[in-house]
Structure 1
Amino acid sequence: MRKPLLNLRTMLAAGLLPALLTACTMPAGGGKAGGDAEWRPMDKEENVELKVAYFDQQSFLTLYGNLFRTKYPNVEFEVVPLSSVYGAPDPVEAMRELIEREQPDVLLLSEEQYGAFASEGLLYDLGPAIERDRFDLDNMHPGVIELLKGRGNGSLYGLAPESNSMVLYYNKDLFDRHGVPHPTDRMTWEELLALAEQFPSAGEGFERSYGLFQSGAGRTAFDLIRSIGEAKGLLVADADNARMTIAGEEWRSVFASVADRYRSGAVSMPPEPKPDGAAAPPNMMVVSPETMNFASGLSAMALDSAMGLGLLGAGGGFAVSSNDGTRPGAFDWDLVTVPVDASQPDATGGMTLPNVFAVNANSQHTAAAWELVKYINGEEAASMNAPNSPMLSSRPAFKREVEGKRLDAFYALAPNPTLLHQRLPSSFDKAFALAADREIRRIVRGEIGVDEALAALEAEGQTLLEQALGGE
């Protein structure tokens, strides 16, 4: 049965008020470098039709377009919907084809698409425009800017009004009932796994309890292992030299440690993934019994993003009910930063940028396009949209407030520097995660040892890597 997709951005984008914008400057003609043409301010009286690649027209106009037109009433919008992109086997290639076919002026991109298109010269360098307009980056989350620059080879080819960071949610009632000390910010992954073992695992199916629960929505059994390894500075593969690096002793230790916790039931193992499952758009949440375990009060801890607040009835006005009708979050809960490694205590690999706005390098309306991108990422849009968004505002001054909860944990860590310049093809990442998931399950079932599994993954991964790199 198909799981329901709840489009939170469309559902929650309501009650917005008109906003006034600050005028800015931008080169009159298109180009990849934002300072190569004659600069002039955008003319309010000029009739411009901007083509915008976005989820759908209604949500764009509600969130941004109608408000933007209170300042520039002569700007009209044509929205190119992205439904075909997120349903595609390769969203990067599908978006590339959409850009070539439709030539939108303003692009809504995933982080992966942004990194790929920045390196291909498809995006306008916003750096000179940001400097000339003195656009406020200082009050944006430094980690967001760092991540954008990392994906853009040191330059800003886009801006992201929101981010999504992983944190550790925990059930305070369960911790107190079992006399277990509460989790803390920047505790290590090893400390997390030790905490998970202090809770009994009981029940069956979706009603089973765990020390640490992992949502089954799009996750694999490899995700936790990869998070722990990358926190240590380990990489699955070296793309520059087309070489797998998964079979080292440090990776072996991580595989063995997590597999032991899967086997004991201290940590939940996500349901077996479907190889042909299409990714949901980043503004959608999959709600099913397997995602509601922690919110229903069954497990002690859960790794989740800001969207987990919604499952607890505390995020952007969105709430769901568990199977028995009880209200999620009816227990006392809180959150801390995602665990770290002692070697990088301020770094996380759990920060992502679901929505990056960029200007097409071939746009004939760069002045208006930049003005729109600037508005979307400015203070006025943040003040109106942040309270109702399922994600985190990139401007911490406008972060959501949930009484008594430590939401600063979402902003406490910086991007993992080891991962900033890693450019593994998405086709490899997906295929290897499925292969690793298969081998981990074999380890847990006792069909194969860790060394044998890693040797198999090294060989299979090398083939997948060479195929992916050869296809670029």
Structure 2
Amino acid sequence: MKKVMLLGIVAGLACTATGCTWVSDTKEQPKLSGSIKVVYWNKNSFMQNYGNLFSVKYPDLTVEVLPLEGLYKPQQDNKKAFDDYVQLHNPDVLLLDSEQFERYAGSGKLKALDADMKKDAFDTKGYYSGVLEYLRRAGDGKIYGLAPFFNCEAVFYNKKLFAEHGVPFPGNKMSWNELILLSQRFSTQNEDPPVYGLEGRTLTNPFIFATTVGASYGLKYVDPESKKMTLNTPEWAKVFKLVAEAFQKGNFYKADLASDPKPSPGSKREEVLKQQYPFLNGHIAMTIQGVDFVDVLSTTPGLPFEWDLVTVPVDQSNPNSGNSMSVNEIFSVNVNSQNPAASWKFIEYINSDAFARIMTQSTIKALPARVNAAPKEERNVKAFYELTPPNESMYKNFDKLPDSFLMTFDSIINQEMEPLLQGKSTAETALQRIEARSQAELDKPKDENPVVPKS
């Protein structure tokens, strides 16, 4: 599971800042007693992120934390480990990442929350439609969990570099081709230090960047159910040609991890951040980063430029959908919960306006699903709320693919992408070879595939 870092504010500090005016609603709250068991990373982080504030509201309800710490280990089936943990401890409230939620929703293991939401008039209009749409889609129309926070990527840009080079600022909902063409208007010639047009974690690997672009068009390169490759198509060839030409022009910044100096022990925070985020040095026009980068930019002293952000590029035929959103802390009620009413009240509260407004008073680490609690930045932070998720993730059901294939596929990619990037092969030829070799691996009987330890 991916751990999403939330904004930890203890209840006492929250009350000091707000007088607890948001913790207690004006209407009389129902009395809750007894106890509930909640799955979370560990007790300390749960109390900091959720438990302290919840206890102020419902002091008579005991919350027991079932820690996930130490559960996940290399060389074991971690999916089975989680399932066994749930069966053994029978928690009332489950913390699920997106993969677990998609697997559990509608499987009979979770309680549908729709009736509770209707009974308690849960405000869905103030809940970010992108998250709600994702949750409904995963549950085939029903709500089996709610997420207080979500993460999202955006294109951050250096306004000073754009002005100096006479290039118009990027806009929301550009196409990938528009973004790449924009990045190419920043020449690295006769610059000391050189200026780059675009940087981001996906740009370190051409194949990963190509699949990022392809995902925004709803493309998939393998069908895990039928074990068939779907990469050798005109649509994919167009994407790979675009990416290969972009890498060949050299306007993407790619960190040289081997030669770049590492911060020495005792280095100042800004020195460490500039090593981690080269965009901060002022020589990169645009970077694709997550919401936590807002906090990095806002708290870095002496930043030599002004910045802003826009949405990630989209498919122009479906401009309101993007593949940059992730939801990795979803809370659901176990269908076998011994206290389902209190379990729902916990989920209802941590997804309320009151809770979200308290938790977003400090730095921006993740985005509140409650739109009214969105950070009031002078910059275009609302860009994070512009797009809804795609109909289906490119990586859905990837757990059904053999681990041995995934490792072999990685090797095939590395071998076949190189001629394309060097201009010695066409996108069509590269995809034909990747698909043929990869399909041959998928078609191998199971006993021909080497045993690979699960991570």
Q: What is the TM-score when the length of structure 1 is the normalising length?
A: 0.78
**Would you say 1:453 and 2:430 are equivalent positions?**
yes
The secondary structure found in structure 2 opposite 1:334 is strand
| C-alpha distance after superposition, 1:311-340 (max 9, x if no partner) | 21x2xxxx46xxxxxx47441111111111
The secondary structure found in structure 1 opposite 2:112 is coil
Q: Check whether the contact 1:151–1:420 (CA below 8 A) recurs between aligned residues.
A: no
Q: How does 1:293-332 map to 2 (within 5 A)?
A: 293-312=278-297, 314=298, 319=299, 327=301, 329-332=303-306
Counterpart of 1:249 in structure 2 is 234
2: CA distance, partners of 1:187 / 1:130: 37
Counterpart of 2:323 in structure 1 is 349
The amino acid across from 1:425 in the alignment is F
Counterpart of 1:194 in structure 2 is 181
The secondary structure found in structure 2 opposite 1:155 is coil
2: CA distance, partners of 1:289 / 1:87: 32
- Aligned match for 2:372, one of 379, 387, 397: 397
Q: 1:265 Cα shift? A: 1.9
Counterpart of 2:14 in structure 1 is 16
| Residue correspondences, number | 420
1: CA distance, partners of 2:369 / 2:82: 24
Q: 1:86 Cα shift? A: 5.9
| C-alpha distance after superposition, 1:210-252 (max 9, x if no partner) | 21101379x7433321222222232223345442211101101
**Would you say 1:363 and 2:340 are equivalent positions?**
no
Q: How does 1:87-98 map to 2 (within 5 A)?
A: 92-98=79-85
Which segment is superposed worse, 377-386 or 71-80? Answer: 71-80
1: CA distance, partners of 2:388 / 2:146: 17
| C-alpha distance after superposition, 1:31-85 (max 9, x if no partner) | xxxxxxxxxx9643x322x211112211211222122122322222221222335
**Would you say 1:425 and 2:398 are equivalent positions?**
yes
Change (3 A) 1:307 1:10: closer
2: CA distance, partners of 1:162 / 1:467: 42
| C-alpha distance after superposition, 1:234-293 (max 9, x if no partner) | 222334544221110110121121122223221245789xxxxxxxxxxxxxx8766411
Q: How does 1:457-468 map to 2 (within 5 A)?
A: 457-462=434-439
Counterpart of 2:356 in structure 1 is 382
Q: Check whether the contact 2:111–2:333 (CA below 8 A) recurs between aligned residues.
A: yes
Counterpart of 1:177 in structure 2 is 164
Change (3 A) 1:451 1:171: same
Q: Check whether the contact 1:150–1:421 (CA below 8 A) recurs between aligned residues.
A: no
2: CA distance, partners of 1:421 / 1:261: 23
2: CA distance, partners of 1:421 / 1:22: 45
The amino acid across from 1:358 in the alignment is S
Q: 1:23 Cα shift? A: 8.5
Change (3 A) 1:167 1:93: farther
Q: 1:464 Cα shift? A: 6.7
2: CA distance, partners of 1:159 / 1:175: 40
The secondary structure found in structure 1 opposite 2:70 is helix
2: CA distance, partners of 1:12 / 1:260: 47
Counterpart of 1:31 in structure 2 is none
2: CA distance, partners of 1:329 / 1:468: 57
Change (3 A) 1:154 1:362: same
2: CA distance, partners of 1:386 / 1:469: 50
Q: Check whether the contact 1:165–1:350 (CA below 8 A) recurs between aligned residues.
A: yes
- Aligned match for 2:130, one of 143, 149, 174: 143
**Would you say 1:236 and 2:221 are equivalent positions?**
yes
Higher alpha-carbon Rg: 2
Q: Check whether the contact 1:295–1:329 (CA below 8 A) recurs between aligned residues.
A: yes
Q: How does 1:60-79 map to 2 (within 5 A)?
A: 60-79=46-65
Q: 1:113 Cα shift? A: 1.1
- Aligned match for 1:440, one of 413, 417, 420: 417
The amino acid across from 2:398 in the alignment is P
2: CA distance, partners of 1:102 / 1:135: 29
2: CA distance, partners of 1:467 / 1:137: 48
**Would you say 1:259 and 2:244 are equivalent positions?**
yes
The amino acid across from 2:430 in the alignment is A
2: CA distance, partners of 1:436 / 1:268: 25
Q: Check whether the contact 2:158–2:306 (CA below 8 A) recurs between aligned residues.
A: yes
1: CA distance, partners of 2:149 / 2:3: 19
Q: Check whether the contact 1:23–1:42 (CA below 8 A) recurs between aligned residues.
A: no
Change (3 A) 1:387 1:221: farther
